[in-house]
Amino acid sequence: MSEPLDRPGAEPTDVTTFWTRVRGRVQKDPFARLGVVVGPGGSAAVAPPSFSFGATREQADEQLGLVLSGTKTATSSALVEYRAGSEDEHPLPRVGDLAIVLDGGGEPRAVIRTTAVEVTTLGLVDGVHVRAEGESGSSLAAWQRDHAALWGKSVAEADDWPVVLERFARVYPATQSVDG
C-alpha cells in the first residue's frame, strides 16, 4: 500500500533555501541576477508555490522522474479546485508562472514554468494532452476514466466536467540530472 504524501510538503526553509539557490537561473527578468549584488526584490525573494504531483510518496517520485526526464510536460485539475469557497482554492495558473516541484519526501527538486493554460471539459481532452502528462501507456479512455474517478464522477457524468489543462516546461534543473 502506498504511503500518503504529507502535505504541504517540505519545511518552508527547505523551499526557501532551494529558491534562493536557483532563482537567478530560472527568472526571465534580466535584473533578477542583480539580487546577488544588491539584494533581491520582494517578488524575487518569495519562493513560488511548491507541490508534488500525485497523492502518495511513490506517485510523487514517479511523476517527478517524468518531469526531470522531459516526459511529463502537462497536468490537469478540476476547475472547481480553483473556485472561491473550495477547500483547495487557489488562482488559475497563468502563462509564465513558476512552481517548485517536490519529491515524495517533500524535498524541492525542480522548477517548472507554465507555458499554456486551457479550460475545457473532460470529454474534450485529447490524446496529445494525455501523452504530455506522461501517460504514454494509457489510452485516452483510461485516462478519462481514471480522472473522472479521481473527481468522484463516472465518465458519463464527467464528460462535461470543467477541467484546467496546464502545459509547462522544466526550467531547473536545466539538464536531466537531479543535482542542484
- pTM over cut 0.75: yes
Contacts of 101 (CB under 8 A, 6+ apart): 50, 51, 52, 53, 64, 67, 108, 109, 110, 111, 112
Residue type for position 45: A
Per-residue confidence (pLDDT) for residue 3, from 0 to 100: 41
Please give the chain's pLDDT, 180 residues, in tens: 334 444 444 455 589 899 988 888 887 644 444 444 445 555 556 889 999 998 899 999 999 999 999 999 999 999 988 876 656 567 899 999 999 999 999 999 999 999 999 999 999 999 999 999 997 677 899 999 888 888 888 888 888 999 999 999 999 997 544 444
Q: What does the alpha-carbon distance between residue 25 and residue 36 come to, in Å, rounded to a whole number?
A: 12
Which grid coordinates are listed for 120? 475545457
Q: Side chain identity at 53, as an amino acid letter?
A: F
Q: What is the dihedral of CA 58, 69, 180, 99, to 10 degrees?
A: -70
Q: How many helices (H) and strands (E) does the chain have?
A: 7, 5
Distance CA 45, CA 117 (A): 26
Q: Which residue has the cell 499554456?
A: 116
Three-state DSSP at 83 gives coil
